[in-house]
Amino acid sequence: MSCKHIHNEADSFCIYVKETHFNFMQKIIRDLITLIFAGLLLLSSALSFQLEAQSASFSEMTSMDMRNQLHVDEFTLIDVGNNRVPILISTSEQPITKGIVLIIGDADMPLGRQDSLSQLAKSLPAVGWTTVVMPSLGLSLGPNIAFPIENEGTQESAETDNSTQQNDDLSGATATPLADAVEDGQVVDETTNSLSVTSSISEADLVIYSLEIEAFISATLQHMETTMGHRILVSQGMTAATIAKLAADEHATMQQIDALVINNPYWPIRKLNNKIPMVVAQTPIPVLDLISYWDNSWSKQTEKARKIKARTQLKEVYRQADIVGQTFDQVQKDYVARQIQGWTSYLGW
């Protein structure tokens, strides 16, 4: 056998090996792509199922509560996705309506709870506002939510840290309302510790909650579209933080809102909670930030930072007002109603 013939056979064998290896790698890549696609499809389906299940559970629970506590003609059912959700409408008691005040509490907050701002619905119609109480959405907080422990001097330290901190950018809205709030950045308070208990709330839960909140607001605004005037959104807790983020990201639904009134805004995840001062500062609409004795530790952790960040970021209209006292009694309810009335008068409404 000649050397030339041997070389030809060797070359053919090398080509065969290369082709076999190439085909094998192609098959692996195709299989990987198929697995990734299937995984994404399953994740999307699971997220959709979780959203629908959570919404359905909330709708059934709140509708039952409404029917047990109120007469049929005292609430209105609106369509939110595939669910029928109740709202309580109190029309303006003045000949000229100033607009609508939407009121929604923290996650899982009962309407009758003492610190619920839903009780403002009885005061504001007298000064020309139509109020819409939107029952809180469920987030299944349970007993395992962890609250930070504040050391002495926490707020003073937070104020000092934030007054010297460089501007961090949270601009650039994304399809998921909380996705860009997870970035590393502003640290509000390094002296605040957390309980060893891990919060039962995940970032995925908050994303789902944000989608539900936006859908609820959109459906309510659509139902009230024939009422003329300004739109004010009053919210508390995680709902307030979520709504502020939606406003900062300039979501289409929030562009129908003219002003925000927030109380006790927080997220029960530290890296997200630390972003709230910047989120509030970047809202393009006026914000009235109500602080109170009963605000939880997460919210108190950013209380001064919210005011400082609004000032350093040159937010056009931001006011922080203290609800004095330890219990939300009738005197305080009237005080908060006057605060909102005075603030809206300042805005020229």
Instruction: Kindly report the number of other CB atoms within 10 A of residue 30's CB atom.
Output: 10
pTM of the model: 0.70
Are 100 and 63 within one domain?
no
39 and 93 inside one domain:
no
Taking the C-alpha atoms of residue 105 and residue 115, their distance in angstroms, rounded to an integer, is 9
CATH classification of the domain holding 127: 3.40.50.1820
> Residue 134 is encoded by which pair of tokens?
């939107």
Asked if residues 233 and 217 have their Cβ atoms less than 8 Å apart, the reply is yes
How far, in Å, CA of 227 to CA of 25, rounded?
63
- Same structural domain, 157 and 275: yes
Residue 217, pLDDT score: 95
Same domain, 88 and 45: no
Residues 43 and 184 in one domain: no
Same-domain pairing of 242 and 136: yes
Last residue of a domain, one of 69, 85, 113: 69
Q: Give the burial class of 326: count Cβ atoms within 10 A of its Cβ; 0-12 exposed, 13-18 middle, 19 or more buried.
A: exposed
Domain check: are 223 and 86 in the same one? yes
Domain stops at, among 69, 85, 115: 69
| End-of-domain residue from the set 12, 41, 69 | 69
Q: Give the structural domain span for 81.
A: 73-346
pLDDT attached to residue 23: 65
Same domain, 224 and 328: yes
pLDDT in the model for residue 251: 92
* Helix-then-strand count for the chain, H and E: 9, 10
Phi-psi sector, 250: left (phi>0), alpha (psi -120 to 50), beta? left
Same domain, 61 and 78: no
What distance in Å separates the CA atoms of residue 152 and residue 149, rounded to the nearest whole number? 10
Are 65 and 80 part of one and the same domain?
no
Considering the domain architecture, whether residues 6 and 155 belong to the same structural domain is answered as no
Positions of the chain with pLDDT lower than 50, given as ranges:
45-49, 51-56, 59, 141-147, 149-177, 181-198
Query: Is 69 within 8 Å of 135 (Cβ atoms)?
Result: no
Residues near 108 by beta carbon (within 8 Å), at least 6 away in sequence:
136, 138, 139, 140, 141
Do 149 and 9 reside in the same domain of the chain? no
Q: How far apart are CA 266 and CA 238, in angstroms?
A: 5
Q: Provide the number of structural domains found in the chain.
A: 2
Instruction: Write down the pLDDT at residue 242.
Output: 95
